[in-house]
């Protein structure tokens, strides 16, 4: 059986979408492109981007540790 690669390479793109109304804040959007497959995937917010990356590396829950 062939093992999958132990690394993945993505191009990260992020940009702000400005609403038509000035009283609403801009929204950040994100996309990743897999360099090997050229597959692109869009994300409506940072949380969805992070969830996708966690799934790719096998992380089930978010843990933020302070190493200071």
Q: What is the mean pLDDT of each run of 10 residues along the chain (68 residues)?
A: 78 92 89 96 96 87 54
State the Cα–Cα distance between residues 67 and 31, nearest whole angstrom: 29
Quick count: other Cβ atoms within 10 Å of Cβ 49? 20
Residue 55 gets which letter from DSSP? H
So where are the chain's domains? 10-19+26-57
Cβ pair 26, 18 in contact under 8 A:
yes
- pLDDT confidence of residue 5: 62
Concatenated DSSP letters of 11-54 = EEEEEEEPPSSTTS--EEEEEEEETTT--EEEESSHHHHHHHHH
């Amino acid at each position: 059986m062939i093992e999958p690669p132990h690394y993945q390479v993505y191009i990260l793109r992020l940009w702000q979408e400005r609403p038509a109304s000035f009283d609403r804040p801009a929204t950040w959007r994100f996309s990743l492109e897999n360099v090997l497959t050229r597959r692109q995937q869009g994300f409506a917010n940072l949380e969805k981007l992070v969830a996708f990356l966690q799934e790719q590396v096998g992380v089930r829950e978010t843990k933020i540790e302070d190493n200071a």
